């Protein structure tokens, strides 16, 4: 345990799931007020899988590594991978076949 009740692993999992839900609620709510945001069901599914997968991998990193520097390094790599995949899916930065543009 990390000393703080919110950082207890079962609670962290609940926080991860809640955070994913709240993040996915942002475009859902925005779609009610503007035509600028138009997500399909598959957009929500891909974003949910990407965010939940990242959150669960982060939980795995926190459980696996005890040294703070290792945790920060691996979480940094994970965050960078999330941003790269998100950018590719959104606008096709690398021009892969699954690019969003």
Residue 3: the pLDDT is 59
Tell me the per-residue pLDDT of 34-50, one tens digit each, with 9 for 90 and over.
999 999 999 999 999 99
Mean pLDDT of the region 3-27? 86
Mean pLDDT of the region 12-39? 94
Residue 101: the pLDDT is 59
Q: What is the largest CA-CA distance in the chain?
A: 47
Residue 77: the pLDDT is 98
Task: Please check the confidence at residue 26 and state whether its pLDDT lies above 60.
Answer: yes
Residue 91: the pLDDT is 85
Mean pLDDT of the region 68-91? 94
pTM here is: 0.84
Domain residue ranges in the chain:
5-91
Q: If you write DSSP's letter for every residue of the chain in order, what string do you get? A: --SSGGGSHHHHHHHHHHHHHHHHHHHHHHHHH-SS----HHHHHHHHHHHHHHHHHHHHHHHH--SHHHHHHHHHHHHHHHHHHHHHHHH-SS--TT---
Q: How confident is the model at residue 6 (pLDDT cuts 50, 70, 90)?
A: low
């Amino acid at each position: 345990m990390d000393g703080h009740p919110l950082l207890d692993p079962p609670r962290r999992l609940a926080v991860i799931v809640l955070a994913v839900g709240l993040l996915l609620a942002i475009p859902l709510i925005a779609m009610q007020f503007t035509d600028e945001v138009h997500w399909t069901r598959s957009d929500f599914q891909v974003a949910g899988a990407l965010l939940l997968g990242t959150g669960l991998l982060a939980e795995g990193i926190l459980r696996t590594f005890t040294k703070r520097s290792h945790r920060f390094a691996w979480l940094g790599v994970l965050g960078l991978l999330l941003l790269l995949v998100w950018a590719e899916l959104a606008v096709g930065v690398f021009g892969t076949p699954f690019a969003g543009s």
